[in-house]
Amino acid sequence: MKRYAFIILLFISFSGYAQNTINNYKYVVIPERFNFSREDNQYGLNTVAKALLEEKGFTVYFDNSEIPKELAGNRCNALNADVVQKKGLFVTNLTLLLKDCKGNVIFKSKEGKSREKEFAASYNLALRDAFTSLNDVPYAYDGTVSEAPQQAVAPAVAPAPTPAATTTPAVAETKEAAGTLYAQATANGYQLIDTSPKKVLTLFKTSVQDYFIADNEASHGIVLKKNGDWYFEYYKDNKLISEKLLIKF
């Protein structure tokens, strides 16, 4: 009997753990810098990861940004995103982890891989490859509120209703186009040439139309189309820069 009781208890415990899924979480907190990176948002990885999680339906905040009271009062209401690297020869390997506030792994992606020679492209393509694992997992927040690690005794006062938290885009410093750039097709995208001719920017295709990983050696970011115009967006000194481009394809 003791043996059967133990098996039943083990099954219940496992079932309770299995029910803890990404659907229990509305928020995801992502670091400004992954452990393998040498600088904040290196190669634009953190910005790309935030955008991909938001596309999935999560409300995402960087760990150094202002967060809503609902989350500030209980960090267990958020998943913590991390990307880990496995070193390999001539290949970039990245894996996405989503952990709860106690460090339990709620979701682990496949190992995203890329053999691109350029670091910015290789890391971005490996990250996007890892994120494709999320496509196989349906997500819809079920309204679960996690229990805080330590409960504080609060007065029995009905809280005032608060508006639902929304994700607002970052405010960018806009720069006008410097001149017309001509797109030359490459194996993975385009290179943009000015009238010199000189290569100004390298674009790498992604799975999203009119959305490219971009690299001009000095800055790493994205090129995207907004309201019919092309923009190169990247971070410089922790400030988002949006540079308008005139591209002839």
Write out the DSSP string of the chain. Answer: -HHHHHHHHHHHHHHHHHT--GGG-SEEEE-SS-TT-SSTTGGGHHHHHHHHHHHHT-EEEETTS---HHHHT-GGGEEEEEEEEEEETTEEEEEEEEE-TTS-EEEE---EEE--SSHHHHHHHHHHHHHGGGGGS--------PPPSSPPP----PPPP-PPP---PPP-EEE---SEEEEEE-SSEEEEE-SS--EEEEEEE-SSTTEEEEE-SS-EEEEEEETTEEEEEEEETTEEEEEEEEEE-
CA 111 → CA 108, 125, 126, 129, 188, distances in Å? 9, 12, 8, 8, 21
Q: In angstroms, rounded to a whole number, what is the distance separating the alpha carbons of residues 163 and 68? A: 10
The confidence score (pLDDT) of residue 156 equals: 55
| pLDDT in the model for residue 87 | 87
Domain range annotation of the chain: 25-136, 173-248
Least-confidence region, from 57-61, 96-100, 225-229: 225-229
Residues 158-217: pLDDT tens digits? 556 655 555 567 777 888 888 899 998 888 889 898 888 888 899 998 888 888 999 888
In tens, the pLDDT along 125-174 reads: 999 999 999 998 999 998 887 666 554 445 556 556 655 555 567 777 88
- pLDDT over 70 (residue 12): no
Categorize the per-residue pLDDT at 91 as very low, low, confident or very high, splitting at 50, 70 and 90.
Answer: very high
Q: What is the pLDDT of residues 92-136, one digit of tens each?
A: 999 999 999 999 999 999 999 999 988 889 999 999 999 999 998
pLDDT given for residue 3 in this prediction: 54
Mean pLDDT of 55-76: 88
CATH class of 25-136: alpha beta
Q: List Cα–Cα distances, 180 to 168, 192, 194, in angstroms.
A: 31, 9, 7
Positive or negative, the CA dihedral 43, 83, 170, 206 is: positive
Residue 165 pLDDT: 53
Residue 214's beta-bridge partner residues?
203, 221
Angstrom distances, CA of residue 86 to CA of 78, 107, 113 = 26, 18, 10
Tell me, what's the pLDDT at 148? 60
- Is the pLDDT at 18 greater than 50? The verdict is no
